[in-house]
Amino acid sequence: MEGKGTLSKVVRWVVAPILVSHALERIAPTISLMEVSAILPYLAHFLKFAAYAGIGGLVLEGIIKEVLMPRWGDLVSVESAKLRDLLAETISQRGLLVRQWEPAVPSKDEIDKTLGEDPQLKKAKKALLVGDAPQAIAILEDLAARKPEHERDLLKALILSPTPTDWDRARSLLPRIGEPQQYSRLGYNYWVKRDLATAISLAETAHRLAVEEGAKRPKAQLASAKNTLAYYYADAEVVEKADEARHLADDAIRLRREEGQNEKDVGSALATLGYVKITFGLSKEIVEEGIRDCEDGRRMGARNDLYFVHVARAQLRLAKM
């Protein structure tokens, strides 16, 4: 069944746009202006599907420039603006879907990094790796009951769980034994589920603790806390935090460069700065500058899926300016 599902997605998102493009190319010389008016809504419909594959923009621009514009320039100039707006809106929705589709099972690297190499945790780590968070938590609850120092490992497993009730348990433990990066990682869980208020609250605490502990922790952790909080402020469009978001994003880039972090991490921070400019910019120039930052960030290794979300928001904002 999984193979059939994959094939269906390939047909819908890759083959179908190509076939529609070729079909329009072949019939373009023979159809009337009235008929192309009828085609455009259908084109909009299939673009909704193409957008989910991250190729909608490329397909749309190709069809507009190579097929429709040469024959029906005036009509298409008007209608293509509507289509671009539709695509932007659809990609914004796709951003929500992408986050909802984030893998529920943490990777082996994340599990190893989070729980370390203690042999007593081997069974719990194995359970997490195969997606059996309840078993992992049960193992660690038993271990923590016998050896209280393992309560921190229980907290980490609760954060890695895909279950919101486990996250609630983790939140109750954080004030007593939590660290900044755990607040941040738990906040990411809520961000994925679009509970932005909780995500922001946890990110704000992570940032405050990282600042307070300062010299005790690597600059990389402080940079991460700043970058995350700036991103959430932009994503939730918290206008009253616009200036703070800009300062946080600028600081994150500076710290990551000072720390000599890899290009991908610097690119991620640059994309966040771009998203902040796109969201809060008061002029077209600032929004367009944000787009360029996002493009540079993507070339450096920032997430492709979020790039489309950022540019879609920019398109919607520019259309209203």
Same domain, 127 and 258: no
Phi-psi region of 301 (alpha: psi -120 to 50; beta: other; left: phi over 0): left
End-of-domain residue from the set 59, 81, 100: 100
Of the candidates 186, 190, 160, 201, the residue with the CA atom closest to the CA atom of residue 99: 190
What does the alpha-carbon distance between residue 195 and residue 304 come to, in Å, rounded to a whole number? 22
Same domain, 72 and 120: no
Whole-angstrom CA distances from 271 to 217, 253, 295 are 24, 10, 8
Residue 282 belongs to domain with CATH number: 1.25.40.10
Same domain, 300 and 186: yes
What does the alpha-carbon distance between residue 152 and residue 148 come to, in Å, rounded to a whole number? 8
The structural domain count of the chain equals 3
Same domain, 120 and 84: no
Same domain, 119 and 226: no
What does the alpha-carbon distance between residue 276 and residue 270 come to, in Å, rounded to a whole number? 10
Question: Which structural domain, as residue segments, surrounds residue 42?
Answer: 2-100
What is the structure's pLDDT at 216? Answer: 76
Same domain, 218 and 317: yes
Low-confidence ranges of the chain (pLDDT < 70): 1-105, 215
Same domain, 195 and 307: yes
End-of-domain residue from the set 143, 161, 177: 177
Same domain, 198 and 266: yes
End-of-domain residue from the set 100, 126, 148: 100
What is the structure's pLDDT at 203? Answer: 97
Q: Are 228 and 216 in contact (CB under 8 A)?
A: no
Sequence-distant (6+) residues with CB within 8 A of 307 are 271, 294, 295, 297, 298
Same domain, 189 and 315: yes
Same domain, 107 and 41: no
Full-model pTM: 0.69
Same domain, 302 and 286: yes
Same domain, 112 and 69: no
What is the structure's pLDDT at 3? Answer: 41
